[in-house]
Amino acid sequence: MVGKLLKTSNKYRIFFELEQNRLVLWTPVALGAGIAFYFYLNVEPPLWSGIVGLLGTLLALYMTRGRNVPLIALLCISVSLTCVGFSAAQWRTAFVAAPVLERAMGPTSVEGRIARLEFRVKGDRVTLEKPRIGGIGPGQTPEKIRIVLTGSQPAMQTGDWIRVRAKLTPPPGPAAPGAFDFQRRLYFSGIGGVGFSYGAAKLTSKASLSNSVNPLQTIMSSLSQLRILIGKRVLDGFPEPEQKVKGAVIQALMTGERGAIPEQVLDDFRDSGIAHLLAISGLHIGLVAGIVFVGVRGFLALFQSLALAYPIKKWAALMALVCAFFYALIAGATVPTMRAFLMIGVVLLAVVFERRGLSLRLIAFAACVILLIKPESLFGASFQLSFAAVTALVAVYEALLESPWIKARRGKGRGIASQVLLYVGGVALTTLIAGSATAPYAAFHFNRFADFSLAANLLAVPMTALWIMPWAVVAFVLMPFGLEGLALMPMGIGIGVVLDLAHEVASWPGAVTLLPAMETWALAAITLGGLWLCLWRRAWRWFGVSGVAAGLASLLWVQSPDILIDGKGRLLALSGEDGRVNVSSLKTAKFTRDVWLRRAAQDKADLWSEMENQKPEKLTCDRLGCIFHIRGQNVALVRRVGAVEEDCRSADVMIASVPVRIACSHPRVVIDRFDLWRNGTHAFWFDENGTVRVETVNTSRGKRPWVHRPTRRTVGESEPGT
């Protein structure tokens, strides 16, 4: 027995010796594990619990000092980092806590200062801070609300005070159990209410930066106004109707605002697999920094006295760092932008201090900073997609650069043809790696996979890198002089090529594969398996393939709900024998219906009437409701109070969009209007053995600060589109 323990200890010691320098790369993974554990709890833990856990593990680590037990020390450090992530999420939740609307209101008078202004095709949207809402007192008023403005609006900018009549509701919950949680995202954005306006807003006071007592607020307001001004100048450069789309895309590339891009164009970019070009991230920040670095260094090299006497390479790196920083701020400092700037910043500083910059440690550093500042970003698509792509790319290229074949050919001269082929091959390999790494996350969040993304990116990425973004940098430089049109015109030519490419690839048969909703555990298995593959160097890294395979295989056994009913009882969906979703209406709850269809890997909804006509033995309806026969059970779908008493005597399961006010003993499960109101959308699964599984939005999320629990009955609430 002692011999076995010694052999096991020696194995662990060999493991640590071989991979010791890679252990630090798991720091953000441990932080993320603590954050994930916090957010998946059903109840809010005490604020001191994370700190107590941290102190306990640090004490255990201290007690093991001087002992040759690396496994225990590693375990203590891992748990300590997990507790740090847990505590960061706790304190972040407490820090952003603010009042949330308890019920739907309006139309009512709303006045506030514009904190953010978004110009969109379907109506401009404003985020108001310090709002004053008619009908509620200051103690119940949210710190921020978000309103979609309808109709023609006056000219306004960030910092202006406006008054408008609006309909307001609490932030909407998920459209289905496991779907995207709008309430959580808006909670951490400080937004406690959403709605839409009735008519035009009235401008009550213009922005005045001199009156602001908060320097940070003054800076952010100035940046927001600058972003709007740049976007307006870009759009003004394309006044012709057929050219407006180019201006909208250029605005997205220069400021990060995509609201002016038509939905059809966005669909083309998504379906062709080049939507990442519209989201300012590592590619754009890196291109801007690289263009500035090469341009400044090349310009300074023209002056022999400077080039020979001064470190112009370091000067160029510092200038590129400054320009990348301002570009990140203009783009809104989103999670991908923050990650990209942190990484590019360290790379450029490494140039200044003559060190190696790009590495997996740099990615780990960027991830730790973002997770500690904004722990909730762990569950965002932008965080997951950007870090998955860059981690896979660096890991693969790191392995390639260490291969004997690459080392033997490094430094050898190449002709122009060889360099072109190398560049095209590099773009293809980069697209393949990034596409493979991000595909599971795209499937999880968007339920789709662009089949021809490799072909589209082979043309779109070089066009963006070699033509579009260099002209964007020139446009930024010329804009203070009013000469940006000289750069926008050639930039628009390149954008036109990309638009045509996106439309062409998106129109190919089979351009998009729709995928069903993936379970959270499956994405976690894929993530851990992928990290195991990327972060280790030795042969045991290949054990990570099993985690990735298990997560992907889960898509083969996804079982969509047999019945769905939304939290207001307005929309119901039934699953047919072929697995297709059949909905009760095509006129109501459009957003909810679209989410249900997307999660079922379906692009078009079928109506109940079609199922009723084709299979009357499965679904029969009258004006009071329907009877749905599924796996030997009779499910009553009650629409009117008049059907309640009869269905209570015959149905196995009753789902009513009206209140059930009588004792209903025959059905095994009874869900009525009050259950829907309290717990949100309900999903039902029926087994052959007669059992029924029910999941709801609110019970799966538990009692957390961002989960809205209605205190009185509300009607007529708007959809999450606001």
Nearest to 178 by CA among 573, 447, 474: 447
Reference 145, options 122, 120, 162; nearest CA is: 162
Q: Which residue has the higher pLDDT, 716 or 570?
A: 570
* Share of residues in the chain with pLDDT > 90 (%): 36
pLDDT at position 146 is: 95
Residue 1 CA, chain-centre distance (Å), reads 51
Query: Would you call the peptide bond into 107 cis, given omega within 30 degrees of 0 as the criterion?
Result: yes
What angle is formed at CA 268 by the lines to CA 262 and CA 272, rounded to 5 degrees? 155
Which pLDDT score, from 0 to 100, does residue 246 have?
92
Average pLDDT (107-117) is 90
The pLDDT, as a whole number, for residue 722 is 47
Residue with tokens 């000289």, as numbered in its chain:
486
Residue extents of the structural domains in the chain: 2-95, 105-207, 254-390+436-514, 520-557, 563-690
Q: For residue 346, what pLDDT is reported? A: 80
d(CA 385, CA 283): 13
Give yes or no for residue 701 having a pLDDT over 50.
yes
Question: What percentage of the chain reaches a pLDDT higher than 70?
Answer: 91
**Is 2.30.29 the CATH number for 105-207?**
no
pLDDT at 714: 44
Tens digits of residue pLDDT in 239-274: 887 788 999 999 989 988 888 889 899 999 999 988
Please say if the pLDDT value at position 209 is more than 60: no
Check pLDDT > 60 for residue 9: no
Interacting residues of 476 by C-beta distance below 8 A, sequence separation 6+: 254, 327
Confidence of residue 211 (pLDDT cuts 50, 70, 90): low
Backbone angles phi, psi at 387, to 5 degrees: -75, -35
State if pTM tops 0.85: yes
Burial-class residue 95 by CB neighbours within 10 Å (0-12, 13-18, 19+).
exposed
Residue 244's contacts (CB-CB under 8 Å, 6 or more residues apart) are: 235, 238, 260
Does the pLDDT at position 657 exceed 70?
yes
Residues 6+ positions from 68 with CB-CB distance below 8 Å: none
465-523 pLDDT, tens digit each: 889 999 999 999 999 998 999 999 999 999 999 999 999 999 999 899 999 999 999 99
CA-closest candidate to residue 332, choices 247, 262, 231: 231
Q: What angle do CA 177, 178, 180 make, to 5 degrees?
A: 110
Least reliable range by pLDDT among 29-43, 306-320, 447-461, 704-718: 704-718
Distance CA 440, CA 447 (A): 9
Average pLDDT, the chain: 85
**What pLDDT band is residue 344 in, cutting at 50, 70 and 90?**
confident
